[in-house]
Amino acid sequence: MKITKRQLRRIIKEEKAKIQEIGGYNLGDDEAFEETYYEFVDKFTAIVKEMLQLGMLPEDIEDAFNVARGNNNI
């Protein structure tokens, strides 16, 4: 099963929204920052692995992340 760029963009936007909800943490606290950082890394890694398993090319993944970041100059 392949995932379309549109589906990928939706997934990334959903995950980005979830990560932004973490805003309640005091990231000045080293422990909270570290926890948030590793949580993000774990989620990010899982998303990239899933995209690769679904047959997406690394270039397409990079394009999708650029779109999610708001950098549409792909």
Q: What is the pLDDT at residue 49?
A: 93
What integer pLDDT is reported at residue 34 of this predicted model? 84
**In this predicted model, what pLDDT tens digit does every residue of 14-70 receive, in sequence order?**
887 777 676 655 556 777 788 888 988 999 899 999 999 999 999 998 888 888 888
Q: Where are the domains of the chain?
A: 5-69
In Å, what is the CA distance from 35 to each residue of 9, 44, 46, 48, 72?
26, 14, 17, 20, 30
